[in-house]
Amino acid sequence: MNTQSFSAATKGELARIKEERPCCLLCELAGLAKAAGRVKNENNTARLEIRTENPAVARKAFQLVRAVFGKQAALFVRQQRRLRRSKLYRICVPGEFTQAALKLGLTDRFGHPVSGIRRAFLRRECCRRAYLRGLFLGRGWVSGTAFAYHLEFAAASKRSAEDVVALLGQFGLKARITARKNCFAVYLKKSGAIGDCLRLMGAAGPLLELENTRVFREVKNRINRLVNCETANLNKTVEAALQRKGEIGFISARIGLENLPEELRELARLRLAHPEASLKELGEMVRPPLSKSCVNHRLRRLSTIARQIQQEKN
């Protein structure tokens, strides 16, 4: 599954979560409005809109508005001309902007914008989870491919970004902030932290897929390391065997193998006859059998003899 479909599938599953407690319904809508809320001026009246390109998120926002405000929201759909020409869903929150914004923590009681997160939304753990889920549904994004792990929340201001970092910190997640063109992004990069965040928000399916991807990646990397190690060891064994074979051939041509001590003569002939055999296999061919270390010791003696002959020649 590619990055876009994984992120969309995560939002789709989160959008299907049905909260029953009024406090959590309010917190989830507040987080969604904080991330995706816009001010719409119409007939000299300012209204709050929630905008999204995800139909599942649009349905969720529609349901939350009805549950929190007790009124039916207006839903508008527009075909966009830019980018992927996807549909833009606009959910209009009933009532004037000042009333809706105050209830959702976007402004204070004097009508001044609130850049951070209202503390009342974070008193209970269930509300913190709901608010976090709303933020992700509004402008969140996650990648769980085998090549990269990344989860982020978009924030309109640095203060909001810092509050999101603090919110994640209450769950033991260490997030970072980076400045984007028109916003700030709070992000997690480690697969374990991303998995914990998905679990907190309630995305069980994407969490399982992320874990499967992580396990597959770890197994693949482990197999690659083992293969590379085995290949390197095999190359070293072959190179060493060829080097010993060349040295024994040099000894045979210069002084003859019959002039070697008996314990070296038998091993030298076996190495020439079986250049691909390992030290263990060579030891089993000798009578009586020799250990691997003993075979290696005798081959080193043959190598020393070859160097001595070469030095005498020079």
H helix intervals, 140-203: 158-169, 191-201
Q: What is the pLDDT of residues 117-163, one digit of tens each?
A: 999 999 999 999 999 999 999 999 998 665 678 899 999 899 999 99
**Helix, coil or strand: residue 113:** strand
CA angle 23, 24, 26 (to 5 degrees): 70
The rounded mean pLDDT for the chain is 86
Global confidence as pTM: 0.69
Pair (288, 203) in one structural domain: no
Q: Per-residue confidence at 221, pLDDT binned at 50, 70, 90?
A: confident
Interatomic CA distance for residues 197 and 14, integer angstroms: 12
Interatomic CA distance for residues 158 and 47, integer angstroms: 25
Residue 129 lies in a domain: yes
The rounded Cα 291 to chain-centroid distance in angstroms is 47
Number of H helices, E strands in the chain: 11, 8
Interatomic CA distance for residues 44 and 122, integer angstroms: 34
Cβ-based neighbour number of residue 32 at 10 Å: 28
Pair (53, 201) in one structural domain: yes
Cβ-based neighbour number of residue 294 at 10 Å: 15
pLDDT at 248 over 90: no
Pair (84, 158) in one structural domain: yes
Q: What is the pLDDT of residues 73-126, one digit of tens each?
A: 888 888 877 656 678 899 998 888 888 889 999 988 887 888 889 999 999 999
The rounded Cα 153 to chain-centroid distance in angstroms is 16
264 token code pair = 């070296």
Residue 100 lies in a domain: yes
Pair (201, 276) in one structural domain: no
Pair (243, 172) in one structural domain: no
82 token code pair = 């830019």
205 token code pair = 């399916």
Which residue in 242, 239, 283, 238 sits closest to 263, CA to CA?
A: 283
Last residue of a domain, one of 217, 244, 263: 217
User: Rounded to a whole number, what is the largest CA-CA distance in the chain?
Assistant: 111
Residue 67 lies in a domain: yes
Pair (254, 117) in one structural domain: no
Backbone angles phi, psi at 270, to 5 degrees: -65, -40
Long-range pairs, 194-201, Cβ under 8 A, ≥24: 194/142, 194/144, 194/149, 194/150, 194/151, 196/171, 196/172, 197/132, 197/151, 197/168, 197/171, 197/173, 198/10, 198/142, 198/151, 200/129, 200/132, 200/171, 201/14, 201/129, 201/132, 201/133, 201/136
Question: Torsion angle, CA of 99/105/110/112, rounded to 10 degrees?
Answer: -110
Pair (128, 187) in one structural domain: yes
Q: How many domains does the chain have?
A: 2
Residue 222 lies in a domain: no
Q: What is the pLDDT of residues 161-173, one digit of tens each?
A: 999 999 999 999 9
- Residue 258: give the domain boundaries: 232-313
Last residue of a domain, one of 156, 188, 217: 217
The rounded Cα 123 to chain-centroid distance in angstroms is 30
Residue 162 lies in a domain: yes
pLDDT at 302 over 90: no
What is the CATH number for 48?
3.10.28.10
- Tell me the residue type at 200: L
pLDDT at 215 over 80: no
Interatomic CA distance for residues 216 and 223, integer angstroms: 11
